[in-house]
Every structure is written in structure tokens, then in C-alpha cells.
Amino acid sequence: MSVLIFLDQSAGHIKKNSLEAASYGSKLAEQLGTDAEGVVLAGNLSEDLAALGGYGLKRIHHLKNIALDQFDSQAFTHLVAGTAVSTGATVIVLSNNFNGKALAPRLSVKLEAGLVAGAIALPVTDKGFVVKKSVFSGKAFANVAIHTDKKIISLNANAFPVSKGEGTAEVIETAVASVNTGVTVTAAEQVTGEVPLSEAEIVVSGGRGLKGPENWGIVTDLAKALGAATACSRPVSDSDWRPHHEHVGQTGLTIAPNLYIAIGISGAIQHLAGVNRSKTIVVINKDPEAPFFKAADYGIVGDAFDVVPKITAAVKQLKGNA
Ligand SMILES: Cc1cc2nc3c(=O)[nH]c(=O)nc-3n(C[C@H](O)[C@H](O)[C@H](O)COP(=O)(O)OP(=O)(O)OC[C@H]3O[C@@H](n4cnc5c(N)ncnc54)[C@H](O)[C@@H]3O)c2cc1C
């Protein structure tokens, strides 16, 4: 019996969401009186895997094959499930991020394991195994009991803090053969030089209130000053003012940054569905009746074209690069 954590990597580095999953899985292992182990699938890693022992991982299984640098849900399911069986893991923890969403249900079927997707707290394990998750786009919570022997939990981003202490993990590196799934990822184009939206701590987002793509400079300037990612409402990406991968909401990405700054966005329910798990929401809108103000922690009633450049200048001044 152990807890196995899937460590998702990008360009050789373990993603922040996976460090949250590692911290969560280690705490859960402690609670269950067992060990936490990690599994990472990649060719070459720049991460010092042994140092991930600081997150409470006792052992890390590095399944090595250059083909694994590209995420393939079927190949990854096969290999993670195999590791779960060989290590005798009874609980598998992974992040409820893009890759985790593809992996968790496949693992659930393959291992005949009950799955709770979108957990937000450690399970209650004194009587059974009950996991709290958010439902209806964060509007309510459900406590879900898992009755199967093997259990899978995918953890929402920003739901559990990363905790790092001392410690070194034993690293077991195994060269694995390529998995023939009938699908080959031939190329993956990554946006470079920008903070990835799903991983960003701060997101600056713009809506139709910005009037047109030619005005987006005020959004990107603020994002650059803050080291933030940029996002937008759906009409903005539908109108091709911004690329579709920036669209957040019910039909776009769901994000949970520490700070979400919404500029000229009304706050329709479909938009809120993608951002209402943000830790702090700041809304800038010239209409004091805009619905977004009800969901905001801080609000500025004012014209974005007047307010935003002033905030950017103040941030630059604070950071000493005015
Ligand atoms: C099935 C379905 C799914 C949907 N999915 C999504 C989704 O995933 N994501 C999403 O975003 N939407 C989604 N929508 C659309 C959603 O209902 C709203 O229409 C959309 O979010 C509105 O975008 P907006 O706030 O940018 O624009 P608007 O509603 O036009 O709001 C613009 C805001 O800007 C303010 N403003 C104007 N000028 C200024 C200025 N100079 N300074 C400051 N503020 C200003 C206005 O007061 C207004 O509040 C969906 C709709 C449906 C039906």
C-alpha cells in the first residue's frame, strides 16, 4: 500500500500543479501511515528528482524514453497504471490540469479505481474514504465516498499549498520501450516567452470593454509589468481580437491564479465559471452595476483606458523599473 503521485513535466521541469499534488499526496500518505512515491515520464529532465524528496516523496520512478517528452494520454495511462500495480499503490494522486483530465478517467477504467476529479481537500479517512470536491463551477461542494480498493484523486489547481521541507528521494530510473498506441505525436508547438495561462500565478484579462485588438497594449503592458499571463472573455476570442487559447470561462480554460484582474469584462456567469476559483479577483469596469463586482475582492469603477496605464506605471515604479 502506498500513495503514487503522477508528476507532470514540461520542458524537463515538474509543473507547479504537480508540486501541489506531491504535497497533497505526501500529507495523505502520512495520514494513511504509508509512503508517498512519485512517477515521472520523460526523456531528459533538468529537474533534480532527488530534491523532490523535500515535498515528502520517498521514492521517484523515472520512466525514461525520449518519446515520453510529448504527452500521449494512452501511452501515459499504460505506464502510470503499470507503475501503480508494480508499486502496490492504492491511491493515485494527480493534478486536475489539462493532462490530468485526460489521464485520470483512463486510469480509473484501467485500474477499476474510483475517481474523484477536482478534489479541494484531503480525504476524510477515519470511516471510509470521503473526498471533498467542488461542483457546478465552484458554486457548491460535494463529499464523495470511494468504495473501490484502488482510488484516484485529481486535485484542483491552487486548492492545496505547496509545502517543501528537507529530504531526498530515492530515484529509480527505468528505460521503458515506446508504447504502441497507434498514435504518434509528431510535433508540439509551445508558446514561448510567455507565462502559460494554466500555470500563471497572476492573470490579466480583457473583455469587450476594450473596444478592439488595437487597444490590447494596456492589457499586455500591465501583464508584463506584473509577470502575468494574459486571458480574455469569449467574445474577444470569437472576434479574433485575441487567440482562442486565451479564452477563459465555461467553454474555455478554467483557471485558479492567485490574482485575476478583469478589465472591461461584465462578469457573465459563463465567464465566472472559468475564473471564480481565483484567490483574489480585481475588477476594473466603468459600469458600477457590472455583475463582476459582486464576485470581486477589489473593484475599481472607472474607464480602463484611464485606470490601467496608471496601475501599470505604479507597478513599474514599485518594482523599480519605471
Ligand atoms: C453557452 C455559452 C457559453 C459561454 N461561454 C463563455 C466563456 O467560456 N467565457 C466567456 O467569457 N463568455 C462566455 N459566454 C458569453 C457570456 O455570456 C458573455 O456574453 C461574455 O462573457 C461577455 O463578454 P464581455 O464581458 O467581454 O463583454 P460585455 O458583456 O460586452 O461586457 C463588456 C464590459 O466592459 C465594460 N466596459 C465598456 N467600456 C469600458 C471601459 N472603457 N472601461 C472599463 N470597462 C468598460 C462594460 O461596462 C461591460 O461590463 C458564453 C455564453 C453562452 C451562451
Cell of 203: 492573470
* CATH number of the domain where residue 212 is located: 3.40.50.1220
Same domain, 207 and 119: no
Using the 3D structure, point to which of 111, 145, 175 is the last residue of a domain: 175
Same domain, 136 and 168: yes
Closest residue by Cα to atom 29, ligand 1, is 266
Examine residue 170 and state whether it is found in any structural domain, yes or no: yes
Examine residue 128 and state whether it is found in any structural domain, yes or no: yes
CA 215 to CA 221: how far, in whole Å?
A: 11
CA 107 to CA 112: how far, in whole Å?
A: 8
Q: Between 256 and 86, where is the model more confident? A: 86
What is the chain's mean pLDDT, rounded? Answer: 94
Examine residue 15 and state whether it is found in any structural domain, yes or no: yes
Examine residue 203 and state whether it is found in any structural domain, yes or no: yes
What are the strands of the beta sheet with 2-6, ordered from one edge? 140-145, 130-135, 114-119, 151-155, 89-95, 2-6, 35-42, 59-64, 170-175
* Average confidence (pLDDT) over 73-77: 96
User: What pLDDT band is residue 137 in, cutting at 50, 70 and 90?
Assistant: confident
- For the CA of 269, the nearest atom of ligand 1: 17
Pocket of ligand 1, beta carbon within 6 A: 207-209, 233-236, 249-252, 264-266, 268, 270-271, 274, 284-287, 290, 303-305
Same domain, 171 and 31: yes
| Exposure on the CB side of residue 266, measured as CA atoms within 13 A | 7
Same domain, 43 and 163: yes
pLDDT digits (tens, 9 = 90+) for 143-185: 999 999 999 999 998 889 899 999 999 999 999 999 988 888 7
Does the pLDDT at position 192 exceed 80? no
Say how many domains are in the chain: 2
Examine residue 120 and state whether it is found in any structural domain, yes or no: yes
- For the CA of 252, the nearest atom of ligand 1: 8
Residue carrying C-alpha cell 499571463? 229
Same domain, 72 and 124: yes
* Average confidence (pLDDT) over 37-44: 96
Residue 47 CB coordination number (10 Å):
16
* Average confidence (pLDDT) over 257-286: 96
- Which of helix, strand or coil describes residue 270? helix
Same domain, 116 and 158: yes
Same domain, 157 and 224: no
Closest residue by Cα to atom 31, ligand 1, is 266
Same domain, 10 and 125: yes
- For the CA of 291, the nearest atom of ligand 1: 49
Q: Which amino acid is at 14?
A: I
Domain that holds residue 29: 2-175
* CATH number of the domain where residue 115 is located: 3.40.50.620
Same domain, 115 and 230: no
Residue carrying C-alpha cell 479505481? 113
Residue 148 Cα to ligand 1 middle (Å): 43
Examine residue 184 and state whether it is found in any structural domain, yes or no: no
Examine residue 167 and state whether it is found in any structural domain, yes or no: yes
Same domain, 12 and 152: yes
Examine residue 187 and state whether it is found in any structural domain, yes or no: no
* Average confidence (pLDDT) over 205-233: 97
Does the pLDDT at position 321 exceed 80? no
- Which of helix, strand or coil describes residue 29? helix
CA 196 to CA 186: how far, in whole Å?
A: 22
Of the candidates 218, 183, 188, the one whose C-alpha atom is nearest the C-alpha of residue 204 is 218
CA 312 to CA 322: how far, in whole Å?
A: 9
CA distances 192 to 11, 14, 195, Å, are 11, 17, 8
CA 216 to CA 315: how far, in whole Å?
A: 18
Same domain, 35 and 138: yes
State the distance between the two ends of the chain, measured CA to CA, in whole angstroms: 56
Closest residue by Cα to atom 38, ligand 1, is 209
Same domain, 155 and 234: no
